[in-house]
Structure 1
């Protein structure tokens, strides 16, 4: 049995990822800041676990509660409160980076001892095309009109972190996914993709075997070239 931990798994992309991986045969631990919001996760057969990626004690306790771990999906993320230059300050970007970047590192580092015991350790970091300069600068893409600086910077960092973790952990499969413009609470459900479409890349990467790719960036259509 494959054991998987997904952060931010009480709703939207995280919850759908949990549902699909359970359907694929995984035992899924659904990380969330407040397990009182975990009813939907329980209904699909996931095991809610209290996990706040901004709190080291919470992260350590969550990982200590797991019997084993094969797959880590770093899905937790926030959009933040700054959407341009005039409303941007250091606190606004620090808050986003603490969840989307430092939080990813907190969880990954805490998970490494368990993952190293797995015969097929896999890490999937959920980023965004908003962190990809080519998409941000190409008219006609979903990402081009986005002015937000903290969120874009955090997702660019998640992509770079993935490449560096993959180089440092050659026996792991470490990849990063782009959900695309998916209808979630982030965009008031204005995205043109369903949550199932938005989790296609994440689920595919979470199901990789030992001969799968590593250090790659994928969306639902396949690999995004660096």
Structure 2
């Protein structure tokens, strides 16, 4: 049975991805920064809860030990993310109001957290016969789309640039680790707490591309950037 870890999975896209992968036969480790929320979510789905704060080395290493003791890992879904530019009224702060602290908070989870988790779990993934990594990016991480006339629907500085960084990290990992399938995905503008539930599609729709890329065969693509319709422009 395929063992899959999903970070930030106690709600939203992570929770729905867990639900769909469990239905597809995966054993899912539901990673959650809050242990109690993770336990409740895992109980609801039939997943295995793992306390996992992607910004904390000790928490990540403890999660590695838990999953290693259970037998190992085949699929890693780096889903945990924050949107530090979203105000209390569910509108984005302006670019002129983005500070270094906002950037740092965003990158600590969206970029450094992804690298921290990937680095820690690579030894387990490399033991798998079909290791897969799915990095949840965003269409806002596309330089091509962002620089096109009209730009993105929700312009941002910190969030968009963090997802562009995720895309480059994905490419570099894929080049360095050709025996793994490592891809970035843009789920689309999905109704989640990340955007104050202002998205235009459901979590069921948004999770589709994550679930599909989490089930790649060994001859599947790697180093790509995809949404529900296919490859995205960088």
TM-score band, normalised by shorter chain: over 0.9
Alignment pair present for 1:102 and 2:112: yes
Secondary structure at 1:157 match in 2: helix
Q: CA deviation at 1:90?
A: 1.1
Contact 1:200 1:219 in 2 (8 A): no
Contact 1:136 1:146 in 2 (8 A): no
Q: CA deviation at 1:89?
A: 1.3
Contact 1:7 1:51 in 2 (8 A): yes
Q: CA deviation at 1:115?
A: 0.4
Contact 2:7 2:32 in 1 (8 A): yes
Secondary structure at 2:184 match in 1: strand
5+ long unaligned stretches in structure 1: none
Contact 1:131 1:153 in 2 (8 A): yes
Note the 1:182-197 alignment, pairs <5 A. Answer: 182-197=190-205
Q: How many residues align?
A: 224
Contact 2:144 2:233 in 1 (8 A): no
Match 1:92 to one of 77, 91, 102: 102
C-alpha distance in 2 between matches for 1:124 and 1:31:
15
Structure 1 runs (4+) deviating above 2 angstroms are 81-86, 137-140
Secondary structure at 1:48 match in 2: strand
C-alpha distance in 2 between matches for 1:10 and 1:211:
31
Secondary structure at 2:96 match in 1: coil
Q: CA deviation at 1:139?
A: 4.3
Contact 1:183 1:193 in 2 (8 A): yes
Aligned match of 1:216: 224
Q: CA deviation at 1:40?
A: 2.4
Alignment pair present for 1:112 and 2:122: yes
C-alpha distance in 1 between matches for 2:190 and 2:149:
19
Contact 1:173 1:210 in 2 (8 A): yes
Contact 2:175 2:223 in 1 (8 A): yes
Q: CA deviation at 1:188?
A: 2.0
Note the 1:109-148 alignment, pairs <5 A. Answer: 109-139=119-149, 144-148=152-156
Contact 1:201 1:222 in 2 (8 A): no
Q: CA deviation at 1:224?
A: 1.6
Aligned match of 2:62: 61
C-alpha distance in 2 between matches for 1:11 and 1:41:
10
Secondary structure at 1:8 match in 2: coil
TM-score (norm 1): 0.95
Match 1:76 to one of 80, 86, 90: 80
Secondary structure at 1:212 match in 2: coil
C-alpha distance in 2 between matches for 1:149 and 1:180:
18
Alignment pair present for 1:201 and 2:209: yes
Contact 1:122 1:206 in 2 (8 A): yes
Secondary structure at 2:130 match in 1: coil
Q: CA deviation at 1:133?
A: 1.6
Aligned match of 2:89: none
